Structure 1
């Protein structure tokens, strides 16, 4: 079963790191395609680590379970526990994995960051909560008397076995 590593790349300005505010509660917004017929969901599906659904046929549980609308095959996605990690300043302007997913019968084709992120400023540790990264983030760190920001956010999936 393939493992999809969600990687992001961003230009950070005086930002130490950013990550989902709560790894268990953060809802990933993903575009999917059936691994068999390649039919796309057409819109983002949302699920979190705390979501659980039974996999048809009694094969356990996953965080997201659905059926392809075109070929009617079942598919499931499980967020790998412990794989949700922050994007750190050491990766500035380079791709780094922030989450991993085990997929059965489905391919991950897109990611929308949306809201629910926590951003930590360099030097002062000032924390900005419920940040929406679907657009550029720009704030002012009062303690440092400096602006902080995240821009040029890109994402991709790297598949491994």
Structure 2
């Protein structure tokens, strides 16, 4: 078994019932090799629907890579069933939204990006391609006649 890493987010929600990554959301991650400590200079997209064969070809992983410094083969998997919603009752508190299991590497940074889903509180409206790259997002919902927003998005990796 590898090392488990939790990605937690915290945001201030305005008229948002639920914020969650879409099923095909790619998590943009910076990764660190556990063997030599090298941190990738590129962002790596890890998606639950993408699987790649491991070194031996007997297993599949959400991310497979070789460390540029030490040459070690490393893998990363999204822990099955770990993707969670961030809800209005979680507002302004850190909550784990996904867990990763790394073998030979660990997650050290994250960029939120696009492809998030926002369900409006008190309305049937769902915004399905929300971009959180700027760590905030705001829109207007006609039904509730008010603004809907995600503000001050932060993340924590444990």
> TM-score normalized by structure 2?
0.94
Q: What's 1:80 paired with?
A: 79
Aligned residue number for residue 143 of structure 1: 143
Counterpart residue number, 1:12? 13
Aligned to 1:63: 62
> Structure 1 residue runs of 4+, over 2 Å off?
none
Q: Let me know the Cα RMSD of the aligned residues.
A: 1.1
Query: Displacement of 1:47 after TM fit?
Result: 2.2
Q: Give 1:30 deviation, angstroms.
A: 0.5
Task: Output the CA distance in 2 between the equivalents of 1:50 and 1:148.
Answer: 29
> Deviations for 1:85-117, whole angstroms, at most 9, x for unmatched residues?
111111100000111111000010111111101
| Structure 2 partner of 1:44 | 43
DSSP-derived class of the 2:35 partner: coil
Please give the secondary structure, in 1, of the residue aligned with 2:89. helix
How far is the alpha carbon of 1:58 from its aligned partner? Answer: 4.4
The secondary structure found in structure 1 opposite 2:147 is strand
Which 5+ residue runs of structure 1 have no aligned equivalent?
Answer: none
TM value normalised by structure 1: 0.93
Q: How much has 1:80 moved relative to structure 2?
A: 1.2
Q: SS of the counterpart of 1:43? A: coil
Superposed CA offset, 1:88-147 (max 9, x none):
111100000111111000010111111101101111131111110111100001100000
Q: Write out aligned runs for 1:145-160 (5 A).
A: 145-158=145-158
Matches of 1:47 and 1:3, distance apart in 2:
15
Give, in whole Å, the separation in 2 of the partners of 1:103 and 1:61. Answer: 13
CA distance in 1, matches of 2:30, 2:72: 17
